[in-house]
Amino acid sequence: MAEHRLLTEHFGMEGIQTLAGYERAGGYQGLRRALRELTPDDLVAQVKASGLRGRGGAGFPTGTKWSFLPGDVHPRYLCVNADESEPGCFKDRALIEGDPHQLIEGTLIAAYAIQAPIAFIYIRGEYFDQRLLLERCVEEARAAGYIGRGILGSDFSCDVIVHGGAGAYICGEETALLDSLEGRRGQPRLKPPFPAVKGLYGQPTVVNNVETLSNLPHIVLRGGSWYASLGTEKSKGTRLFCCSGHIERPGTYEMLLGTPIRELLEEECGGVWKGRRLKAFQPGGGSMQVLLPEHLDLPLDMEAVAQAGSALGAGAMVFMDETTCMVNVSMRLVDFYHHESCGKCSPCREGTYFESDLMHRLERGVLAPEELTTLSDICDNMNGKCFCPLGDTATWFVMSAYAAFRDEFEAHCGAGRCPVREPRAAEAVA
């Protein structure tokens, strides 16, 4: 089985980045149908029936999230999370570049479902060209009457505002995103209250990922039960997987959920590069735990991967061949979290610093063996104790790698160098 192209169907099509091109491809029919034939409640019911789950990382059922909004509090807001900063993730960028109006249409459908008069697209600062593209597409859609007052002759009005972030991973966390959007330091908020109850400017707010929303035109046009027929029992539809690392054909591949990971690696990615063997891979993005070659036969299914001790997360797949040093990879990921820690809570702010210091000394081969205990101990003092998941997840890869590749970690202690990447030096000493 090859790729299953639903969201990516029109990728590469001539003129797809323009309104005319998108309309030629059948664009904005979903929005038209939603406004003409469905009440907001119908729409929420359709999305619930579809089984669509959030693609931003946590996989929360989208229809259920919408139904948490308190009945009579207005205005409500929709925020589109296009902050995509998870290491190894680039699918939202692909969706924005490959079919920008599909996202705008999905955004308007969601805004209609929750009756939001304004939708904000919060896009990461580094996606500068993509922001300009979205701004242009929003203007086109506005001029054509898809955005603004009385959309397509209905009594639903909605404005769409594109807002660029300033380059902080934490601003992808939904409440930090809201603070950043309001003009504050991007740092997560204390929950409860959850955004559904008290979000942007204190009003009920839904935050959804780019990919989540890009599914909506299809669900509206073809129905929730059709969508529910795709995928596995609990993981419905398709997902875009951002494949990178030691593979022949890195890229974004849209797969039907339930497909074995091996198929993604071998058929789409062309297998491990240079004929080498796979040593490990990380699904979900930089936050998730390492998996091993024996996990390749797992289906692309959120529950199955979770059971193996990791997660599909935000849809990344980083493959590592046999020459990879797991200490080196861990160190680089820990550095990322250390760099991105917002500094709000002590376990993450100080813990990632400590972790990073230990990992650097381990990588250089100058860590004392007993300090490995310190490493796992401080990770334990962080995991589950931080203010937000960033600090917790800063420990997940390194701890899973330490568990799976303990020898490699231990071999680094006192070695004076990296025994994996500089094996000759290690032999010379031996």
Ligand X SMILES: Cc1cc2nc3c(=O)[nH]c(=O)nc-3n(C[C@H](O)[C@H](O)[C@H](O)COP(=O)(O)O)c2cc1C
Q: Are 184 and 202 in contact (CB under 8 A)?
A: no
Q: Are 120 and 158 in contact (CB under 8 A)?
A: no
Site string for ligand X, 205-244 (x = CB under 6 A): --xxx--x--------------------------------
Query: Count residues contacting another protein (CB under 8 A)?
Result: 31
Nearest-angstrom CA–CA distance, 378 and 247: 34
Q: Which stretch binds another protein (CB under 8 A): 41-49, 91-99, 381-389, 418-426?
A: 381-389
Q: How many CB atoms lie within 10 A of CB 132?
A: 12
Q: Which of another protein, ligand X, ligand SF4, none sits in contact with 142, Cβ below 5 to 8 A by type?
A: none
Determine which residue in the list 173, 179, 321, 355 makes contact with ligand X, applying CB under 6 A: 173
Q: Note whether 182 binds another protein by CB under 8 A.
A: no
Within residues 315-344, the interface with another protein by CB under 8 A covers 338-344
Q: Note whether 376 binds another protein by CB under 8 A.
A: no
Nearest-angstrom CA–CA distance, 248 and 371: 38
Nearest-angstrom CA–CA distance, 317 and 251: 10
Q: How many CB atoms lie within 10 A of CB 41?
A: 10
Q: Note whether 384 binds another protein by CB under 8 A.
A: yes
Determine which residue in the list 97, 376, 389, 425 makes contact with ligand X, applying CB under 6 A: 389
**Beta strand 278-283 pairing with 316-321:** antiparallel
- In degrees and rounded to multiples of 5, residue 162 shows phi and psi of -95, 125
- Which tokens sit at 283? 């699904």
**DSSP character string of 1-61:** -----STTTTTT-TTTTSHHHHHHTTTTHHHHHHHHH--HHHHHHHHHHHT-B-SSSS--B
Q: Note whether 347 binds another protein by CB under 8 A.
A: yes
Q: Are 363 and 412 in contact (CB under 8 A)?
A: yes
Across 192-232, the runs of DSSP E, i.e. the strands, are: 205-209
Site string for ligand X, 69-98 (x = CB under 6 A): ------------x-xxxx------------
| 64 vs 381, beta carbon nearer another protein | 381
Q: Which of another protein, ligand X, ligand SF4, none sits in contact with 56, Cβ below 5 to 8 A by type?
A: ligand X
Q: Which of ligand X, ligand SF4, another protein, none sits in contact with 83, Cβ below 5 to 8 A by type?
A: ligand X
Determine which residue in the list 189, 236, 344, 412 makes contact with ligand SF4, applying CB under 6 A: 344
Q: Note whether 394 binds ligand X by CB under 6 A.
A: no
CB of 201 to ligand SF4, least distance (A): 21
Q: How far is CA 50 from the centre of its chain?
A: 20
Binding footprint of ligand SF4 on the chain (CB under 6 A): 170, 188, 341-345, 348-349, 386-388, 390-391
Binding footprint of another protein on the chain (CB under 8 A): 168, 185, 190, 338-347, 349-354, 357, 371, 374, 377-378, 380-382, 384-387
